[in-house]
Amino acid sequence: MPQPPQCAAWRVGVAVKRRVRVGVAWVVSIAIAGLVGWWASGEALTPPEDPLVVSEPVTYRVVTGEIGRSRTLVALAEWPSTAVVLNQASGTLTSIPGTGSAAVGDVLYMADERPVVAGLGAVPAYRDMKRGDEGEDVRQLQSMLVELGFLEKEPDGKFGSGTRTAVRAWQKSLAVTVDGTVVQGDIVWFPELPARYLLSDGLTVGAQLSGGEQIMLLGDEPRVWIPIGLEQRNQIPDQAQVRVSVADGVWEGVIAEVVALDVSEAGDFDLLLRAVTGGPICGMDCTAQIPAAGRSEYRVEIVLVPTVAGPVVPASAVITRPDGSSYITTADGEDLPVTVLGAQGSLLLVDGIEIGVDILVFGDGE
């Protein structure tokens, strides 16, 4: 069936419009592609920034500063045990008036409210001593009574009337029964006095004593050390200076000895600390600062690089010549030769320039 003339004309118009839209879209695409190509070619032809070009220098005024480096670790301290003596008293431990440091005649503790005192001698108590006894233990007793001022005769190891009189006077001073007989548990004989001592674990007020309980003798000075691993060992110089922080101040000393705890490659080490003069790092405060029992911990600063004071400048202000010499350019354009004394981060400690001089700092940064 033939189409009406108006329908044919409408279809021709629609086809023409479609061709026009397709043509316009193609032209626009070509234009965009051209612009992108032009930008890319421009970017490709733009030369890169010269990495050797340095930004404008800024001015810096030289100031006084300090350069150094340290590391904070933990130091341990304890009193080493050198010997053991034994209690011979029996009964209940009723009080401990002792301070942990004993001299001849000092009361260590009370058993059934009877004092147990410290005496100097190599023979341990093994019997009650009374008039008529003879032996080295009697001689030790006589020496103690002489030192305490209760006996005037030369010790001869014979318990006679003079010794008995001295014992009675000594017993009266202790407020115990005055009978002239020294009970086996009345005296603990130390190999040397004065001495620091520590009652063994469990010897507290109320404990039952049966004889044989240990009293540990402590060394003349405590052991103070820093425990470290292999990685830390490689970073800490031998004989480095140290500062140990304590309640009443600071102990200053050095790493006196490095003790390897095992031979493996990943072994641990102890850095033993002593005073610069070679004595205990705790000096005269050891007894007061370090408890007799257990280990104590302290904060310790290890000086890796000693602190030096002087003119401090940014590292970017120092120029090094091919021959190894260095110089700094002042704000007036003068080149001043300097010597680098130390470094910390981006700061250098230098010699050859005065405090307050304005210099040029090269490179990026404030």
- Predicted confidence (pLDDT) at residue 42 exceeds the cutoff of 70: no
pLDDT in tens, 115-125: 999 999 999 99
H or E element: which one contains 293? none
- Reference 272, options 334, 316, 224; nearest CA is 224
pLDDT in tens, 57-111: 899 999 998 888 899 999 999 999 889 999 999 999 999 998 888 999 999 999 9
Which is more confident, 69 or 30?
69
pLDDT at 100: 85
pLDDT at 344: 80
In contact, 89 and 114? CB cutoff 8 Å? yes
Q: What's the order of all strands across the beta sheet hosting 107-111?
A: 187-190, 114-120, 107-111, 91-95, 208-209
Q: Which pLDDT band, with edges at 50, 70 and 90, does 266 fall under?
A: low
pLDDT at 287: 84
Mean pLDDT check: name the lowest of 39-43, 95-99, 250-254: 39-43
Q: Which pLDDT band, with edges at 50, 70 and 90, does 248 fall under?
A: confident
The 3-state secondary structure of 39-78 reads HHHHHHHCCCCCCCCCCCCEEEECEEEEEEEEEEEEEEEE
The mean pLDDT value of the chain amounts to 85
The predicted model scores a pTM of 0.62
The rounded percent of the chain whose pLDDT value lies above 90 is 65
H or E element: which one contains 172? helix 161-173
Q: Which pLDDT band, with edges at 50, 70 and 90, does 26 fall under?
A: very low
Q: Which domains does the chain have, with CATH numbers?
A: 58-68+307-361 (2.40.420.20), 71-79+221-304 (2.40.30.170), 81-218 (1.10.101.10)
Q: Which pLDDT band, with edges at 50, 70 and 90, does 261 fall under?
A: confident
Main-chain phi, psi angles of 184, to 5 degrees: -50, -40
